[in-house]
Structures are given as structure tokens and as C-alpha cells.
Amino acid sequence: MAHPAQLGQQNATSPIMEELIAFHDHTLMIIFLISSLVLYIISLMLTTKLTHTSTMNAQEIEMIWTILPAIILIMIALPSLRILYMTDEFNKPYFTLKAIGHQWYWSYEYSDYEGLIFESYIMPTYYLQPGEFRLLEVDNRTTLPMEADIRMLITSQDVLHSWAVPSLGVKADAIPGRLNQAMLTSMRPGLFYGQCSEICGSNHSFMPIVLEFIYFQDFEVWASYLYIVSL
């Protein structure tokens, strides 16, 4: 959960998000070193009138400032490609959850649990309980088991949406007529918040996402109860 004046990323709750935060810090350090070097050279040029004739026409310095940026780009590209391929890995998911975007709410279908379908609307301010977050709370939370690989199928029924939960490192566009796929895993129980991240109309900012991860045995009890109620 983000907090006021936060400078970094949200705390990671999935292995993918941990990798993304590490890559962010790695790239930020490279940018900091490059910026410091450029600032030092600029300040040096502004404060001294000395020149060195052998460096003005030297081939060595030209080779350095050509090869060095290429090495830096490789240092950024290799970890980036590694994480990109990690996000596309799907290792026998426990079950499939389908998220469908509407104007302006989400509906969810548990494909492996017959009849387990519900809609998730934003909670009006006057219904909020103490401790709940305005514009982030919903009437029906999406309950999932922790430490389980869950395959997300994201689509839309009307316009473009985007299903995003920052602390899980998941963001996928919801496109009408198309199914996008993502892998979801949480290493601890808790509530995790997200929002639609695609400008989809006048109520775009009122499409929150709330995932509630619980222990595996509790999830089975919850799913069985909802199945019995739906009969």
C-alpha cells in the first residue's frame, strides 16, 4: 500500500515484483553515476581554461565514449530481458481467474469453480468502515489463495481498461475481443490494492481492485461455501 510522500516502489509481495524493484534500483544507480560524471565534466569545463592538445584529436578517447555507452546499455538490457521472460512463465497454475472490465467496474469469474462469478464495484464513501480507504475499497473483494500460481485472463466488454496491482508487479491491458494473460502469486496473506491504469472514460478513477490473499485451506472453505450458496 502506497503512503504519502513515498519515493520508492510499493513493498513487493511476489517474486516478480522483487525482481522489478531490484532492477529499478540497479538502473537508478547507473543513471546516478552517469549524471554525476556529466555534471562533473560540465563543471570542469566551466571552471578551467586549460586544454590538453593530445586529447583533442586522440582516437582513444573517442573509442572510450563509444564503447562505454554500449557496455552500459548491455548492463541494463540483460537484466531487463531476464525479467521480461520471467513474467511470461506459466508453471501449472492452480486455477484460472478471469477479470472482465466494464464501464466502470470489474467482474470476476473463477473458471475452475462452477458458478463462482461476481461483480466488484467501488464502495461509496458513506459505506466505508474505519480503516478502509476511500476510492480504493470495493463491495466484493477478490479472494485468492497465497503461495499458489494463479493464471489471470484479462479482457474487456466495452472499452480499453488496464488491470494493475503494483505490489504484485502485475499490469495487463483489458482489450475488447482479446484475452491477455498474466501470472499472479502472493507470498504472504493480506489485502492488496490496484486500479484501472488506462483512461477509459469519465469514471476511470472509480475502478479499484482489491485482492485478498488468504491461507490455502481457508480459500477452499470460502469457495465451497459460495458454491453451496449459489445452488
- pTM equals 0.82
Asked, for residue 153, whether it belongs to a domain, the answer is: yes
Residue 92 has a pLDDT of 84
Domain of residue 101, CATH code: 2.60.40.420
Beta bridge partners of 164: 171, 195
Residue 160 has a pLDDT of 92
Asked, for residue 104, whether it belongs to a domain, the answer is: yes
Question: Based on the domain organization, do 113 and 63 belong to the same domain?
Answer: no
Residue 198 has a pLDDT of 87
Residue 112 has a pLDDT of 83
Question: Based on the domain organization, do 122 and 183 belong to the same domain?
Answer: yes
Phi first, then psi: give them for residue 156, nearest 5 degrees: -135, 155
Question: Based on the domain organization, do 113 and 179 belong to the same domain?
Answer: yes
**Domain extent at residue 136:** 95-230
Domain total of the chain:
2
Question: Based on the domain organization, do 83 and 103 belong to the same domain?
Answer: no
* The CA-based dihedral angle spanning residues 13, 15, 20, 23, taken in that order and rounded to the nearest 10 degrees: 130
Per-residue pLDDT of the chain (231 residues), as tens digits, is: 677 887 888 888 888 999 999 999 999 999 999 999 999 988 988 887 766 666 556 677 788 888 999 999 999 999 999 998 888 877 788 889 999 999 889 999 988 887 788 899 999 988 898 888 889 999 989 999 998 889 999 999 989 999 999 999 999 999 999 999 999 899 999 999 999 988 888 888 899 999 999 998 898 888 887 777 766
Asked, for residue 5, whether it belongs to a domain, the answer is: no
Question: Based on the domain organization, do 160 and 127 belong to the same domain?
Answer: yes
Question: Based on the domain organization, do 221 and 138 belong to the same domain?
Answer: yes
Residue 56 has a pLDDT of 59
Asked, for residue 197, whether it belongs to a domain, the answer is: yes
CA-to-CA distance for 206 and 196, rounded, in angstroms?
A: 8
* The CA-based dihedral angle spanning residues 217, 222, 225, 230, taken in that order and rounded to the nearest 10 degrees: -140
Residue 52 has a pLDDT of 64
Question: Based on the domain organization, do 80 and 174 belong to the same domain?
Answer: no
CB 84 within 8 A of CB 138: no
Burial class (CB in 10 A: 0-12, 13-18, 19+), 35: exposed
Question: Based on the domain organization, do 141 and 64 belong to the same domain?
Answer: no
C-alpha cell at 48: 578551467
Residue 97 has a pLDDT of 92
Beta bridge partners of 108: 99, 118
